[in-house]
Structure 1
Amino acid sequence: MIKIAPSILSANFARLGEDIELLNKSRADWIHIDVMDGMFVPNISFGIPVIKSIRKITSLPFDVHLMIEKPDRYIEDFVKSGADIITIHYEADKHLDRTINYIKSFGVKAAVALNPATPIESIRYLIPNLDMVLIMSVNPGFGGQKYIRYSSDKIRELKEMKDKFNENLLIEVDGGITMENVEEVVKNGADIIVAGSAVFKGGNIKKNIENLRGDL
């Protein structure tokens, strides 16, 4: 069964605690947390203090997506703030293998994210040691973008590598996923669906998550 990971980048920041409580009462599986530094991506979101504060009000796993340069500098801090899964970008770390092992040394799961133009082949040798790969189906940095069509090809290609090298690997997809295309994304091989606008629009969080799940 697929997992739904609502991205709180699309939540109402003026009532973030209330939105987290609504996620607690929904069928959300994880909470996806986009951390942006204004350098790796042209936007700044939130950091460790916010993660610590919401960790106190939910037991849902924290899927922390670091869209930051030189992420190894902050791994321990994010672990201490409550991260259960830490995702770093292939494009942002010069010593990816070392950082993956560093993340795993804290007993949390390690994942690598790939920007739309980055080929799956780039991480072929890392797949056996990864818990998850995040395929960005939009260009990172902003919510509300449209799904990039060739992302489906990348999902299928990654699924083939998963079947060959690491059957326990989770495939996560983030960007532009809607009620209209979620079934296609799952059929191509996605295990985890990250959704921001599709979950938080209209404030109907519980209903929107149910609609995303559908019969999947």
Structure 2
Amino acid sequence: MRIAPSLYNAPLLNLPEVLRVLEKENVDILHVDVMDGQFVPALSFGEKIVDEIRRSTSLYLDVHLMVREPEQFLSRFGNADGITIHVESTDHPAYCLDEIRRMGKDAGIAVNPGTPVAAVEMLLPLVKRVLVMTVNPGRSKETFRPEMNEKSASCKDFGARKDWISRFRQMAAFRRIPLGCCRRTVLYQAVICLAPARCRINSGG
């Protein structure tokens, strides 16, 4: 199981210390939610913050683009190790994924709770991960939708039929890491689904 904490709720003024704590906790992936206020209602990190994160840590950096027309933003996040886009955010998801791969990055595709999982079936050969959103993106204080577990299983079924996924395990785990610098905690959900061949299927926000 790989742990992928989201930095969305991390205190930016103490970001270097937060990153040091996460490194000591041996997390596997840093999940950075980039929001534009259009595809989702919230605003969050831009490329300058992502560049600062990259300079501050060697941990694997996965940028989750919750933006409209992500093809216009890909080049701004060249310091990331992986870039995940939403299938609903562009008319040309295959083109976006090809561009991410041409940049030498791991490509990922995300699907919102209300979108049928079949929308990403034909894109699976282009990606290293599928992010099954278990909450509506860009909205805080939402609770986990257990019915999304079935969607994760459907992704597994698609992959198995196409021989894109050799194994599948479903997990759900939560941890809290205390951050002494600010009396806050980083709450994150572990990667729910792992498929160690070509494609990994995650569930989260």
Task: Report if the CA contact (8 A) 2:34-2:43 is conserved.
Answer: yes
Residue 14 of structure 1 is matched in structure 2 by 13
Task: Tell me by how many angstroms 1:119 deviates.
Answer: 0.9
Which amino acid counterpart does residue 111 of structure 1 have in structure 2?
Answer: G
Task: Report if the CA contact (8 A) 2:65-2:85 is conserved.
Answer: yes
Q: TM-score, structure 1 length as denominator?
A: 0.78
Residue 160 of structure 2 is matched in structure 1 by 163
Q: In structure 2, how many angstroms separate the alpha carbons of the residues matched to 1:116 and 1:3?
A: 22
- Between 1:34-43 and 1:13-22, the stretch displaced more is 13-22
Which amino acid counterpart does residue 96 of structure 1 have in structure 2?
Answer: P
Residue 50 of structure 2 is matched in structure 1 by 51
Task: Report if the CA contact (8 A) 2:111-2:120 is conserved.
Answer: no
- Between 1:60-69 and 1:15-24, the stretch displaced more is 15-24
SS of the equivalent of 1:66 reads strand
Counterpart pick for 1:153 among 150, 155, 158: 150
More strand by share: 2
Counterpart pick for 1:103 among 86, 100, 121: 100
Residue 93 of structure 1 is matched in structure 2 by 90
Task: Tell me by how many angstroms 1:17 deviates.
Answer: 1.4
Which amino acid counterpart does residue 6 of structure 2 have in structure 1?
Answer: S
Q: In structure 2, how many angstroms separate the alpha carbons of the residues matched to 1:31 and 1:54?
A: 9
Task: Report if the CA contact (8 A) 2:35-2:43 is conserved.
Answer: yes
- Number of residue equivalences: 187
Task: Tell me by how many angstroms 1:31 deviates.
Answer: 0.2
Q: In structure 1, how many angstroms separate the alpha carbons of the residues matched to 2:89 and 2:176?
A: 28
Task: Report if the CA contact (8 A) 1:87-1:112 is conserved.
Answer: yes
Task: Report if the CA contact (8 A) 1:9-1:143 is conserved.
Answer: no
Query: Share of identical aligned residues, percent?
Result: 33
Q: In structure 2, how many angstroms separate the alpha carbons of the residues matched to 1:26 and 1:125?
A: 36
Q: In structure 2, how many angstroms separate the alpha carbons of the residues matched to 1:101 and 1:212?
A: 27
Q: In structure 2, how many angstroms separate the alpha carbons of the residues matched to 1:168 and 1:70?
A: 32
Which amino acid counterpart does residue 97 of structure 2 have in structure 1?
Answer: I
Residue 84 of structure 1 is matched in structure 2 by 81
More helix by share: 1
Q: Which runs of 5+ in 2 are unaligned?
A: 192-205
Task: Report if the CA contact (8 A) 1:39-1:68 is conserved.
Answer: yes
Task: Report if the CA contact (8 A) 2:4-2:190 is conserved.
Answer: no
Q: In structure 2, how many angstroms separate the alpha carbons of the residues matched to 1:105 and 1:212?
A: 28
Residue 187 of structure 1 is matched in structure 2 by 170
Residue 69 of structure 2 is matched in structure 1 by 70
Relative to structure 1, is the Cα distance of residues 122 and 66 closer, same or farther in structure 2, using a 3 angstrom cutoff?
Answer: same
Q: Which runs of 5+ in 1 are unaligned?
A: 172-185
Task: Report if the CA contact (8 A) 1:40-1:68 is conserved.
Answer: yes
Relative to structure 1, is the Cα distance of residues 18 and 139 closer, same or farther in structure 2, using a 3 angstrom cutoff?
Answer: same
Which amino acid counterpart does residue 16 of structure 2 have in structure 1?
Answer: G
Task: Tell me by how many angstroms 1:199 deviates.
Answer: 4.8
Task: Tell me by how many angstroms 1:167 deviates.
Answer: 1.5
